[in-house]
């Protein structure tokens, strides 16, 4: 090959590589980065450099599911019926178990065939619901701080976001009536998340009643991400949005098996709610999403059909971990906000720069957390700690911070 030919081939390759990016859809450019993937990379980088890092940035279970669910998986793996593709909307036994769980735990009556859909985790449900409801330019109302996927999936649909700020004085619960009517008139969807990630707030009956009223008055669909169902710290367990009178007229709820039963890696959950909305969500889900493994659905049915005592044990464990972390951080002059449920602890940072403080924690104390601004602009000034570590590890993390503090604050 001559030099001229080589030069021409190189130029052609370069031109092709540059032009191919024009084929990428415009909506991709508006998708925000995933903060959890960035956190994983940050921890891996420090560990590769030889640092001992206590990773409190992630929500991965640190235990195992109940033995009866492990047994159910083993049995399902040998069942010839589970060698075939699963049903598009979910196995009837799984959907029946989800409906039974709603009835026993919350007094909500659902038709398994028309008001429930099995999904590979609540995250798949979030994506399917937003794709079903949001056109380009539509307005989605979020309560800040919020789980990042709400914004990310809205960006994929090319929707817009309006954020309702919350405060510790109100227990991180929104004042929905303070939102201007013109916002509600324009909004397509309100996404709630209780028990809340990252703040640990738990919804009141009054909050859900207000949301349903606004949904009916302004033709807004109300969605509650109920991923932390059952994980409450108070005598009154967390309530379901669908238990609110009239909620089934305007609402959907997303549930996860991951948190209640410590099976995040199995990927199981379901969407429940209004029959007409569910028909549309099923249509989108059937064309865009991976179906839930039959084996996982069999194990999930075993969990949902149980007496939920294992879930209550987990809730009590996380509450004690929260208290231990709160006590340890107080020795460092740091103070967690009040929490009523979920798997995380929320804390205002000294000086107010949450990104800088999170970097200080991993760089100086060897403790990885998530900066609050990764949960939207109203999360700025806070950091999130995961409670998915043994209590002694959480205490060790707090002591590291205390001992490294010096005159940093």
The pLDDT score that the predictor gives to residue 30 is 82
Q: What is the CATH number of the domain that holds 396?
A: 3.90.1150.10
Query: Is there a contact between 68 and 302 (Cβ–Cβ < 8 Å)?
Result: yes
* Domain containing residue 200: 68-305
Q: At 234, list the tokens.
A: 């108070």
Q: At 146, list the tokens.
A: 């919020």
Query: Is there a contact between 288 and 124 (Cβ–Cβ < 8 Å)?
Result: no
Does one domain contain both 85 and 174? yes
Q: Strand, coil or helix: what is 216?
A: helix
Does one domain contain both 258 and 318? no
The pLDDT score that the predictor gives to residue 6 is 55
Query: pTM of the predicted model, to two decimals?
Result: 0.92
The pLDDT score that the predictor gives to residue 290 is 82
Does one domain contain both 242 and 359? no
Last residue of a domain, one of 250, 281, 305: 305
The pLDDT score that the predictor gives to residue 68 is 94
User: Which residue do the tokens 């659905």 mark?
Assistant: 297
Alpha carbons within 13 A on the beta-carbon side of 316: 7
What is the DSSP pairing of strand 187-192 with strand 221-226? parallel
The pLDDT score that the predictor gives to residue 289 is 83
As for how many domains the chain has, the answer is 2
| Residue pLDDT tens, the chain, 409 long | 555 555 555 555 555 556 788 888 888 888 888 999 999 999 999 999 999 999 999 988 888 999 999 999 999 999 998 888 888 999 999 999 999 999 999 999 999 999 999 999 889 999 999 999 999 999 999 999 999 999 999 999 999 999 999 999 999 999 999 999 999 999 999 999 999 999 999 999 999 999 999 999 999 999 999 999 999 999 999 999 999 999 999 999 999 999 999 999 989 999 999 999 999 999 999 999 888 999 999 999 999 999 999 999 999 999 999 999 999 999 999 999 999 999 999 999 999 999 999 999 999 999 999 999 999 999 999 999 999 999 999 999 999 999 999 888 8
The pLDDT score that the predictor gives to residue 41 is 95
Residue 195 lies in a domain: yes
Q: At 398, list the tokens.
A: 């707090």
The pLDDT score that the predictor gives to residue 377 is 96
Residue 15 lies in a domain: no
Does one domain contain both 187 and 260? yes
The Cα–Cα gap between 10 and 4 comes to 10
Residue 281 lies in a domain: yes
The Cα–Cα gap between 239 and 245 comes to 13
Does one domain contain both 322 and 292? no
The pLDDT score that the predictor gives to residue 22 is 86
């Amino acid at each position: 090959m001559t030099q001229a030919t080589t030069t021409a081939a190189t130029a052609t390759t370069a031109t092709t590589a540059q032009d191919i990016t024009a084929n990428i859809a415009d909506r991709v450019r508006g998708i925000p980065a995933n903060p959890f993937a960035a956190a994983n990379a940050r921890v891996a980088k420090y560990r590769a450099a030889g640092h001992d890092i206590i990773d409190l940035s992630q929500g991965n279970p640190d235990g195992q599911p109940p033995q009866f669910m492990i047994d159910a998986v083993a049995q399902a793996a040998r069942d010839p019926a589970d060698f075939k593709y699963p049903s598009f909307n979910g196995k009837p036994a799984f959907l029946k178990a989800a409906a039974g769980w709603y009835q026993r735990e919350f007094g909500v009556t659902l038709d398994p065939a028309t008001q429930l859909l099995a999904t590979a985790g609540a995250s798949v449900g979030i994506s399917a619901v937003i794709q079903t409801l949001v056109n380009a330019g539509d307005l989605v109302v979020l309560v800040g701080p919020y789980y990042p996927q709400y914004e990310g999936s809205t960006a994929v649909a090319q929707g817009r976001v309006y954020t309702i700020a919350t405060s510790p004085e109100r227990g991180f619960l929104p004042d929905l009536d303070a939102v201007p009517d013109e916002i509600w008139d324009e909004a397509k969807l309100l996404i709630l998340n209780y028990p809340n990630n990252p703040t640990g707030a738990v919804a009141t009956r009054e909050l859900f009643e207000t949301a349903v009223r606004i949904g009916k008055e302004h033709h807004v669909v109300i969605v509650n991400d109920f991923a932390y169902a059952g994980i409450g710290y108070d005598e009154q367990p967390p309530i379901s949005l669908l238990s609110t009178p009239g909620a089934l007229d305007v609402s959907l709820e997303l549930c996860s098996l991951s948190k209640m039963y410590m099976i995040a890696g199995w990927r199981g959950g379901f969407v429940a709610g209004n029959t007409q909305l569910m028909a549309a969500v099923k249509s989108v889900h059937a064309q865009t999403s991976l179906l839930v493994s039959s084996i996982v659905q069999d194990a999930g049915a075993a969990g949902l059909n149980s007496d939920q005592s294992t879930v209550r044990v987990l809730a009590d464990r996380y509450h004690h971990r929260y208290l231990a972390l709160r006590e340890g951080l107080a020795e460092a002059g740091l103070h967690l906000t009040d929490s009523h449920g979920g798997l995380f602890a929320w804390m205002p940072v000294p000086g107010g720069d949450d990104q800088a403080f999170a970097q200080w924690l991993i760089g100086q104390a060897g403790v990885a957390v998530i900066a609050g601004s990764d949960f939207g602009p109203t999360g700025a000034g806070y950091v999130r700690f995961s409670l998915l570590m043994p209590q002694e590890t959480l205490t060790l993390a707090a002591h590291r911070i205390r001992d490294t503090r010096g005159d940093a604050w």
